[in-house]
A and B are shown apart, each in its own frame.
Chain A
Amino acid sequence: EVQILETGGGLVKPGGSLRLSCATSGFNFNDYFMNWVRQAPGKGLEWVAQIRNKNYNYATYYAESLEGRVTISRDDSKSSVYLQVSSLRAEDTAIYYCTMNWEDWGQGVMVTVSS
């Protein structure tokens, strides 16, 4: 059974940073691209970042709205993917989801940016 668990969310002050983690199991992590998607309260889904697998040299892609403030990374030995977000703004307040190939999604982790 595929399991995806995001952690690391919480309340952060504007200008702060945080690192989200996504631990996975139940599939061959090395084979898959991994994505982060976010959803602001009451809003739709917004793609944040993607990291490809080793076969694609771990290439990374980012949403333009976050580029320069976000870094996605992965640790294949831990079947985990990470999202580092800096210079946080109120509009970054959202549930952040980790997804494997759009087939399986975590429950999401809430990030609230507020003073």
Chain B
Amino acid sequence: DVVLTQTPPTLLATIGQSVSISCRSSQSLLHSNGNTYLNWLLQRTGQSPQPLIYLVSKLESGVPNRFSGSGSGTDFTLKISGVEAEDLGVYYCMQFTHYPLTFGSGTKLEIK
């Protein structure tokens, strides 16, 4: 199974600070069709997950452009350029290049 290792597990940030979350995969997420199926999700407390980024770096509709994704192969990063209060929650990376589909263990973003 593909293991996605997210770091850090917890992130403490001030409003306006830029932060990054790493997601490392135990094997390449490059599919034979040329796509890399790595997404980022945010789950606020008591809510369902919501999509942020798909295909490594594409912003979901309605997601603020302070969110950005990058990476390739096995190393991926979610960056928030200027954290806002509404950004608190748990961030997950997930892959659907390989079965079984897998999620990272999550990074909890807390606001100072």
Given contacts A64-B100, A97-B48, A103-B60, 7 further A-B contacts (CB under 8 A): A44-B104, A44-B105, A45-B41, A45-B106, A61-B101, A99-B49, A102-B96
| A interface SS class | strand
A107 proximal to B (CB < 8 A):
yes
B6 — nearest CB in chain A belongs to which residue? A44
Known A-B contacts A45-B103, A47-B103; A102 and B39 likewise in contact (beta carbons under 8 Å)? yes
Judge whether B48 and A63 touch: CB under 8 Å. Answer: no
A side interface size, CB within 8 A: 19
- The listed residue with most A CB atoms (<10 A of its CB), out of B48, B49, B106, is B48
A85-111 interface with B by 8 A CB criterion:
97, 99, 102-103, 105-108
Q: Which residues of chain A are within 8 angstroms of B49 by Cβ–Cβ distance?
A: 37, 45, 97, 99, 105
Docked CA distance A99–B43 (Å): 14
Judge whether B48 and A108 touch: CB under 8 Å. Answer: yes
Known A-B contacts A44-B106, A97-B48; A102 and B94 likewise in contact (beta carbons under 8 Å)? yes
Docked CA distance A57–B19 (Å): 43
Judge whether A61 and B48 touch: CB under 8 Å. Answer: no
Known A-B contacts A97-B49, A102-B94, A106-B48; A63 and B41 likewise in contact (beta carbons under 8 Å)? no
A50 proximal to B (CB < 8 A):
yes
Docked CA distance A62–B1 (Å): 12
Q: Which residues of chain B are within 8 angstroms of A99 by Cβ–Cβ distance?
A: 49
Docked CA distance A103–B53 (Å): 10
B74 proximal to A (CB < 8 A):
no
B64-92 interface with A by 8 A CB criterion:
90, 92
Q: Which residues of chain A are within 8 angstroms of B41 by Cβ–Cβ distance?
A: 45, 102
A35-93 interface with B by 8 A CB criterion:
35, 37, 44-47, 50, 61-64
B13-66 interface with A by 8 A CB criterion:
39, 41, 43, 48-51, 54, 60
